[in-house]
Structures are given as structure tokens and as C-alpha cells.
């Protein structure tokens, strides 16, 4: 049996390929299958949003009641149900930000000093606004206008600058 006994977006083999742990005979075929699975998973989010009951969401992501769980309780009972999904939820946002930011300019350090506005994340912002709007309309019956902004106050450049003479 594989390390995962439940279905996920990626197969164990695809996960190993992306981590560089496996070299398939036909990487282009692997890439296409991964694209197809991600596309299907994004469609599944619509089904989950519209149909998954709140009590099941609470089981997946944990309680939103803010109950404090002590380390002793974790040692005795294991991590609370939903803690893995909750703990990894920021990766979903990071993945979407990366995917929806491919066409935008990169984040530059010292934007204020350059006197420039960061234009990155526009697609991500638009999709976040639409998603929050859909949630509030569907589950809270609120007619709203949602505005999301991302303000980057400072950024460090982790990659050395390339001058044009370095380009071949």
C-alpha cells in the first residue's frame, strides 16, 4: 500500500516526480497528467463549496471555536482532527498566488524608494474578491462589495541581481 491511503490531487508517483525523486520515461506525459488533475481539482472546489456540509468542514480544518488544546492533550490524544489541513491551508493560497501571478512583474525590494507601485497579484486579488463575495452571498445572504488589497511594505531580494553583461 502507498504512503497515502486516500485520494489526493497528486498520485504518490507524481509527488515523487515533482520533488525530483523519480524520473519518468515520459516527463511530458507526467506533466500533462498533473495539469489535468489540478484542473479537475479546481473544479472540485466548486462542488465542495456548494455542497460540503459545515460539520464536515469543521472535521477537515478543525474547530473555529478557538478552543485551546494543551501539549499534554496532544501527547495523549494526538493532534486534533483537521490540524493537518488547517496547518497546510496557507499553501493553497501560496500556490494560487504563484499560479495567478505568473504574468505579473516580480516583487521588487524597496518599492517606496523606487517610487513605484507593486502591480503583482492583480489576478490573485480579483479571484480572492470573487471568492469572498461568493461566500458572503451564498452562506450569509449578504449583498456586498469586496475589496482586497495586498500592501508589500518591504521585500528583500534573495537572488543576486544580473547585469546585462552576465546574460549570454
Residue 70 lies in a domain: no
Q: Determine the longest span between alpha carbons in the chain, in angstroms.
A: 61
Q: What is the dihedral of CA 73, 75, 78, 84, to 10 degrees?
A: 100
92-108: average pLDDT: 79
68-75: average pLDDT: 60
Residue 168 lies in a domain: yes
Residue 14 lies in a domain: no
What's the whole-model pTM score?
0.69
What string of H, E and C letters represents the secondary structure of 87-111?
HHHHHHHHHHHHHHCCCCCCCCCCH
Residue 107 lies in a domain: yes
Question: Which tens digit of pLDDT belongs to each residue from 112-146?
Answer: 556 555 566 778 888 999 999 999 998 889 888 99
Residue 29 lies in a domain: no
Domain count, the chain: 1
Query: Which has the closest alpha carbon to 82: 112, 48, 44, 54?
Result: 54
Q: What is the dihedral of CA 101, 105, 106, 112, to 10 degrees?
A: -120
Residue 127 lies in a domain: yes
Whether 145 and 100 have beta carbons less than 8 Å apart is answered as no
Residue 6 lies in a domain: no
pLDDT given for residue 15 in this prediction? 93
Amino acid at each position: 500500500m502507498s504512503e497515502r491511503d486516500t485520494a489526493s490531487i497528486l498520485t504518490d508517483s507524481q509527488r515523487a516526480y515533482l520533488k525530483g525523486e523519480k524520473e519518468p520515461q515520459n516527463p511530458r506525459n507526467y506533466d500533462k497528467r498533473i495539469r489535468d488533475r489540478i484542473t479537475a481539482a479546481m473544479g472540485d472546489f466548486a462542488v465542495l463549496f456548494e455542497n460540503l456540509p459545515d460539520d464536515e468542514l469543521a472535521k477537515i480544518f478543525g474547530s473555529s471555536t478557538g478552543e485551546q488544546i494543551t501539549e499534554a492533550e496532544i501527547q495523549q490524544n494526538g493532534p486534533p482532527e483537521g490540524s493537518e489541513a488547517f496547518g497546510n491551508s496557507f499553501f493553497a493560497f501560496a500556490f494560487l498566488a504563484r499560479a495567478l501571478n505568473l504574468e505579473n512583474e516580480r516583487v521588487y525590494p524597496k518599492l517606496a524608494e523606487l517610487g513605484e507601485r507593486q502591480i503583482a497579484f492583480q489576478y490573485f486579488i480579483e479571484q480572492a474578491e470573487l471568492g469572498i463575495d461568493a461566500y458572503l452571498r451564498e452562506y450569509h445572504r449578504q449583498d456586498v462589495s469586496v475589496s482586497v488589497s495586498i500592501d508589500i511594505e518591504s521585500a528583500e531580494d534573495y537572488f543576486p541581481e544580473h547585469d546585462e553583461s552576465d546574460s549570454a
